[in-house]
Amino acid sequence: MRKYGLIKLGLAAVMFISASAASKGADGLGGPYAPPPLIPFVYNWTGFYAGAHAGGGWSDGDGSGSGGFIGGGQVGFNYQIYQWVLGIEGDFAGTTIQNSVNATVVGPGAVLTGNAEARLDWVATIAPRIGYTFNNWLVYGKVGGAWAHASGTASAGINGMQLVSVSVSETDSGWMFGIGAEYALSGNWTAKVEYNMMDFGNSGSFANNTFSVLKAGVNYRFGAWSY
């Protein structure tokens, strides 16, 4: 009799536990079909990337504030540590920026003329950069080296006849500072806007003092974005 009593007690305990589990499942308090929590989207900026940019540039080296179109490409690498992004980027761009000066002097029996033209052919930079990311945004700054190639011609004449003509071409080096913001689009694409200031000192023919660039562009990062 004692043995049968223990069996009945055990069956009663099992039935009580099963009823409690069924009740919790019906109330949605931890049942087996509860949906998993949503995982927030986190863009991973780590990896190599390449892209293109276009914008405007202007030089204040000669006091005239001449400006023009600038367009080119960039390559770089990012490494993300929590919300901080460290990297290095190089870019190259051609420009349409140029200046020209004409002068005429009228004297007794003679007209003297002079002309000078200078062009900023291309600019290039390479710089480490550091940024901070939140949601799909990356804001960053960078400081590094800059190079610019300038070419120009100068001529002089009298009474419509050219007497002398001189051409020059050189590459100047300096330093640069930049700030920008980049936004992660769908897939591996990002879009950015950036300002650069380049300083070439007082040497050189055309690329002296400061040169500024405001540009927009897109990048493609090699490697899948992740959650």
pLDDT tens per residue, range 191-211: 999 999 999 877 555 545 788
* DSSP-assigned letters across all residues of 143-193: EEEEEEEEEEEEEEEETTEEEEEEEEEEEEEEEEEEEEEEEE-STTEEEEE
Please give the model's pTM, rounded to 2 decimal places.
Answer: 0.71
Instruction: Say how far apart CA 73 and CA 93 lie, in whole Å.
Output: 7
Three-state SS at 62:
coil
Residue 136: how many other CB atoms lie within 10 Å: 13
pLDDT of residue 162: 67
pLDDT of residue 150: 83
pLDDT of residue 152: 76
pLDDT of residue 147: 94
List the chain residues with pLDDT less than 50. 1-15, 17, 19, 21-30, 38-39, 63, 207, 226-227
pLDDT of residue 63: 46
Q: Which residues 6+ apart lie within 8 Å of 6 measured at CB?
A: none
Instruction: Say how far apart CA 154 and CA 97 lie, in whole Å.
Output: 17
